[in-house]
């Protein structure tokens, strides 16, 4: 049938960009059937290429060479559910299964809602679900390969055991995906592989008799989805998701899972303009003298007119730009994964100087006292003369520095990937350091003599910015890469646990929390009385920062991984769907 | 001396400089040549917290139920140093229920618990703390609560404890003793919140600030250390006023003289010690209805 290869995209010579290449053999002896198969494959590849959802791998390219067709798609690193089932001792927890189930419903809903034609996945089973390192689901192996199986005797689309009865009769509808999802959840909870059992025999293996810890509420949801007759199942994937959430709420399995009230429906907020880059936007934009500067994973730094988003110039580096550019005195400074820091004239878009490091830059530059301070994957914090582009000094940490430094009273504050946090004086000498248990990717901020940052170790820290004494720590549900911001002695941050937190800087008490239900990957920005923050599933939230009340949300179909920039009541932010948005607030 | 202590605020135009200022012939303390390092270019001036304290039984009471504790050290080594201080006042309650025992247990236990945890830093065997300062304070108060309930059940006390390190102070507070910051320009601010019924009524807008001072339930606390099993303590961290002073006192002081008077006395005093003595005297002159305890702290420039 075919193989999947892990491959490197050689368009990016300086960085390692991994992709997955799926190879399909076209073995039909008949030339016209082969031709039809290729046409079908290409048509479907085109449909898949338009999909943009964090739970679906992105399609980069497709091509056919002789009797083989290839699909180039996003490389997902993680583990598939089938190997998770076999690799887990005992049963997988109910709350874990529910949260995966809810996410799978979201992906299927996205497909079923596809216009003009709904997309039926047809092949929901544990081995087609990847769980990423961040514990999110990605549906892999779309049924695209089916075109090349035509002609095989007794064609069976879908996998025996997970497929509903009607699929064996050649009928497919959204209800088939509901059944297969139910079968997948049944397998996850009972660890009984349906392929080893007679077809449609789930009723003979009641979940509660195999795994008595599962709540009757969840059992009920799965039983409905596994009904023999499609009309007895949930009428849509939406109602199945709601039933899963309701079961989770009833049993308290997911205490935190709540569907936030949508104040403004999708489409209620219209961007003033958008600008499409050629690849993901992961870094924050910067406003400077009428223009917006933003770096993208297509290696370019863009200069755009802030009023209408019209293109002014772009400057190509040799690596992805995942950082926020910094402007100073008519020049813009940007750090790139090409291991260089570029100083560019804002008017001409021409380079002034280039500084070479020995590792990729994921830390954004910070300017103070005639110097650019920036951390690099080469484990050094570089202090670069802003005029000459030459190093004044560098400071060696023992791990990559991806956090953006903060300048406080002639000291440079930043974290490193081994969990250390440093205070360096302007001569490049260590003043103090502090260690957390895991990486500090979050960029620190200072308020009233205290420095704040999050860590992958699930804690948020407040330190005396001068002496480095830890004053308090706040425990979150999961680790954080979010760079905090403050207003009125409240510090705002978010975490991979899907919660945006507001914490009193003095008492370390939680002022409010907002459950975004999805990893908070973007950093918050305060403007007037609102907080703006994006999540990994592409939603930008506008929250009243004193109360934590949702004002509106805006959905992009990518992940938001940086902080929005505000100037003149316009909010600018990028998404991994390649688009930069300008929204009036 | 006088110029040194007063130099911070004398610049302020609201506070006229004393006329005899030019007659002072001594140099300011910090500008004196250091005999140990004379002739060397490097001068070492470790920062530290200077302290004044004073206590009085008052006029109307026959025994003292207040306790206080102070400690000031400079930690560090040849390459760095930081000022550190612990300042605690506890006001025991309950007259015949041995209020003085409760307040004494409270200050000793809290101070002991903090010092135990900070010992590696003070002895310079560690440069960082593993436990956040707020958690150190919280645990010290829990220890004190347990000690009071064990040794002197039924008695209670207020507690206002400050752990000052570098430029931040972490406060543990319960009851109606107070911590104030005094800053140039006549600014005096209570940074603690009284856990008294009158103050609660004031916070809820039921009575005015003036009514609160004279309210019959002024001395009735809804939170204290000891007496009950439950414990709810305010813990927070703020910047140390610099330039400025920290003042910690029992209600024998703040309940008798106004904030404005307190500021005036501190600002006019020749030293931290005389300031404390004059504050106590002023409270006794105004009737001295209760025990009085005062700690005044200043960070060297």
Instruction: Give the pLDDT confidence of A407-422 residue by residue, as tens digits.
Output: 999 999 999 999 999 9
Interface-testing mutation among B75, B162, B237, with chain A (most A C-beta atoms within 10 A): B237
CB contact under 8 A, A464 and B235: no
Q: What is the pLDDT of residues A438-478, one digit of tens each?
A: 999 999 999 999 999 999 999 999 999 999 999 999 999 99
CB contact under 8 A, B133 and A471: yes
All residues of chain A having their beta carbon less than 8 Å from the beta carbon of residue B239 are 448-449
Q: What is the pLDDT of residues B74-114, one digit of tens each?
A: 998 777 889 999 999 999 986 556 888 999 999 999 999 99
Q: What is the pLDDT of residue A283?
A: 95
Searching chain B, which residue's CA lies closest to the CA of residue A450? Answer: B168
pLDDT confidence bin for B161, thresholds 50/70/90: very high
Distance CA B105, CA A325 (A): 57
| Domains, chain B, ordered by start | 38-299 (3.60.40.10)
Checking if the pLDDT of A498 tops 80, the result is: yes
The residues facing A420 across adjacent strands are A435
Is A508 part of the contact surface with chain B (CB cutoff 8 Å)? Answer: yes
A332 touches A323 (CB < 8 A): no
Distance CA B145, CA B226 (A): 5
How many other C-beta atoms can be found within 10 angstroms of the C-beta atom of residue B71? 18
CB contact under 8 A, A449 and B127: no
Tell me what the mean pLDDT of segment A368-397 comes to: 95
Interface-testing mutation among A431, A437, A468, A506, with chain B (most B C-beta atoms within 10 A): A506
Distance CA A444, CA A465 (A): 10
CB contact under 8 A, B133 and A431: no
A277 touches A300 (CB < 8 A): yes
Tokens 């403007």, located at residue = A527
Interface-testing mutation among A453, A472, A475, with chain B (most B C-beta atoms within 10 A): A472
Searching chain A, which residue's CA lies closest to the CA of residue B238? Answer: A506
Q: State how far residue A470 is from chain B, nearest Cα, in angstroms.
A: 5
Distance CA A446, CA B239 (A): 13
Distance CA A498, CA A169 (A): 42
Q: What is the ipTM of this complex?
A: 0.78
Is the peptide bond between A116 and the residue preceding it cis, with omega within 30 degrees of 0?
Answer: yes
Q: What is the pLDDT of residue B30?
A: 46
Q: What is the pLDDT of residue B47?
A: 86
Is A427 part of the contact surface with chain B (CB cutoff 8 Å)? Answer: no
B146 against A547, higher pLDDT:
B146
All residues of chain B having their beta carbon less than 8 Å from the beta carbon of residue A466 are 166-167
Q: State how far residue B211 is from chain A, nearest Cα, in angstroms.
A: 29
Q: State how far residue A564 is from chain B, nearest Cα, in angstroms.
A: 30
Checking if the pLDDT of A255 tops 50, the result is: no
Q: State how far residue A370 is from chain B, nearest Cα, in angstroms.
A: 27
Q: Which of A448, A472, A504 sits opposite B239 (nearest CB)?
A: A448
pLDDT confidence bin for B15, thresholds 50/70/90: very low
All residues of chain B having their beta carbon less than 8 Å from the beta carbon of residue A472 are 132-135, 237
Count how many pairs of residues, chain A against chain B, have C-beta atoms within 8 Å.
Answer: 62
Is A469 part of the contact surface with chain B (CB cutoff 8 Å)? Answer: yes
Q: State how far residue A466 is from chain B, nearest Cα, in angstroms.
A: 7
Q: What is the pLDDT of residues A258-315, one digit of tens each?
A: 333 334 444 468 899 999 999 999 999 999 999 999 999 999 999 999 999 999 999 9
All residues of chain A having their beta carbon less than 8 Å from the beta carbon of residue B168 are 449-450, 464, 469, 471
Q: Torsion angle, CA of B23/B29/B33/B34, rounded to 10 degrees?
A: 160
Is A464 part of the contact surface with chain B (CB cutoff 8 Å)? Answer: yes
pTM exceeds cut of 0.90? no
CB contact under 8 A, A506 and B237: yes
């Amino acid at each position: 049938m075919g193989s999947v290869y892990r491959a490197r995209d050689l368009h990016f010579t300086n960085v390692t960009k991994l992709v997955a290449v799926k190879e399909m053999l076209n073995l039909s002896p008949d030339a016209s059937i082969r031709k039809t198969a290729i046409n079908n494959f290409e048509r479907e590849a085109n449909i898949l290429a338009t999909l943009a959802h964090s739970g679906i791998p992105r399609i980069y390219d497709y091509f056919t060479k002789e009797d083989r067709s290839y699909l180039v798609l996003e490389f997902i690193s993680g583990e598939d559910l089938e190997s998770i089932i076999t690799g887990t001792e005992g049963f997988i927890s109910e709350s874990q299964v529910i949260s995966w189930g809810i996410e799978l419903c979201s992906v299927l809903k996205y497909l079923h809602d596809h216009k003009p034609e709904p997309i039926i996945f047809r092949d929901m089973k544990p081995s087609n679900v990847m769980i990423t390192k961040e514990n999110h689901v990605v549906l892999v192996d779309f049924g695209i390969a089916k075109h090349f199986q035509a002609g095989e005797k007794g064609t069976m689309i879908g996998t025996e055991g997970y497929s509903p009865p009607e699929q064996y009769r050649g009928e497919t509808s959204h209800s088939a995906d509901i059944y297969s999802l139910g079968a997948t959840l049944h397998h996850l909870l009972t660890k009984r592989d349906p392929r080893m059992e007679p077809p449609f025999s789930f009723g003979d293996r009641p979940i509660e008799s195999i795994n008595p810890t599962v709540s009757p509420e969840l059992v009920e949801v799965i039983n409905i989805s596994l009904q023999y007759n499609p009309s007895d199942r949930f009428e849509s994937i939406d109602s199945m998701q709601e039933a899963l959430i309701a079961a989770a709420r009833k049993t308290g399995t997911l205490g935190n899972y709540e569907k936030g009230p949508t104040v403004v429906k999708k489409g209620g907020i219209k961007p003033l303009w958008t600008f499409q880059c050629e690849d993901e936007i992961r870094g924050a934009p910067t406003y400077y003298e009428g223009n917006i500067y933003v770096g993208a994973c297509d290696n370019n730094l863009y200069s755009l007119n802030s009023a209408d988003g019209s293109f002014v110039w772009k400057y190509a580096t040799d690596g992805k730009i995942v950082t926020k550019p910094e402007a100073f005195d008519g020049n813009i400074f940007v750090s790139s994964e090409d291991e260089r820091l570029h100083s560019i004239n804002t008017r001409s878009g021409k380079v002034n100087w280039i500084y070479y490091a020995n590792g990729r830059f994921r830390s954004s530059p910070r300017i103070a006292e005639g110097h650019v301070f920036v951390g690099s994957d080469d484990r050094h914090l570089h202090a670069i003369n802003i005029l000459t582009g030459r190093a004044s000094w560098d400071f060696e940490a023992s791990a990559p520095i991806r956090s953006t430094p903060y300048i406080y009273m002639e000291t440079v504050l930043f974290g490193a990937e081994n969990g250390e946090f440093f205070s360096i004086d302007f001569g490049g000498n260590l003043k103090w350091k502090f260690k957390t248990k895991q990486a500090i990717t979050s960029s620190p901020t200072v308020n009233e003599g205290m420095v704040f940052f999050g860590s992958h170790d699930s804690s948020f820290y407040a330190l005396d910015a001068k002496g480095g004494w830890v004053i308090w720590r706040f425990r979150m549900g999961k680790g954080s890469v979010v760079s905090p911001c403050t207003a009125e002695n409240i510090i705002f941050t978010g975490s991979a646990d899907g919660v945006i937190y507001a914490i009193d800087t003095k008492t370390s008490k939680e002022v409010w929390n907002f459950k975004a239900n999805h990893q908070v990957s973007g950093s918050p920005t305060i403007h007037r009385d609102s907080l703006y923050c994006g999540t990994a599933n592409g939603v930008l939230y506008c929250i009243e920062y004193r109360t934590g009340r949702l004002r509106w949300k805006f959905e992009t179909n990518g992940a938001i991984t940086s902080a929005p920039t505000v100037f003149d009541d316009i909010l600018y932010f990028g998404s991994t769907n390649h688009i930069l948005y300008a929204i009036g607030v | 001396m006088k110029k040194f202590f007063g130099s911070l605020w004398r610049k302020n135009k609201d506070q006229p400089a004393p006329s005899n200022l030019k007659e002072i012939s001594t140099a300011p303390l910090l500008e004196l040549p250091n005999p140990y390092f004379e002739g060397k270019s490097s001068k070492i001036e470790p920062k530290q917290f200077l302290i004044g304290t004073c206590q009085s039984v008052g006029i109307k009471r026959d025994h003292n139920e207040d306790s206080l504790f102070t400690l000031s050290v400079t930690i560090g080594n040849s390459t760095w140093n930081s000022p550190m201080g612990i300042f605690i006042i506890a006001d025991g309650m309950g007259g015949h229920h041995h209020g003085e025992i409760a307040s004494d247990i409270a200050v000793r236990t809290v101070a002991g618990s903090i010092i135990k945890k900070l010992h590696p830093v003070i002895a310079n065997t560690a440069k960082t703390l593993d436990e956040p300062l707020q958690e150190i304070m919280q645990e010290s108060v829990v220890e004190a609560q347990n000690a009071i309930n064990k040794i002197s059940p039924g008695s209670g006390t207020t507690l206002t404890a400050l752990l000052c390190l570098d430029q931040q102070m972490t406060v543990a507070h319960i009851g109606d003793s107070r911590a104030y910051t005094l800053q140039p320009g006549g600014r005096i601010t209570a940074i603690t919140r009284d856990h008294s019924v009158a103050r609660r009524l004031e916070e809820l807008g039921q009575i005015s600030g003036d009514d609160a001072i004279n309210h019959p339930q002024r001395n009735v606390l809804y939170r204290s250390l000891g007496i009950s099993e439950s414990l709810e303590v305010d813990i927070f961290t703020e910047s140390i006023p610099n330039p400025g002073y920290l003042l910690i006192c029992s209600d024998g002081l703040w309940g008798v003289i106004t904030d404005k008077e307190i500021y005036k006395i501190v600002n006019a005093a020749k030293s931290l010690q005389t300031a404390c003595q004059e504050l106590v005297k002023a409270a006794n002159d105004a009737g001295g209805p209760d025990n009085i305890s005062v700690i005044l702290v200043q960070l060297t420039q």
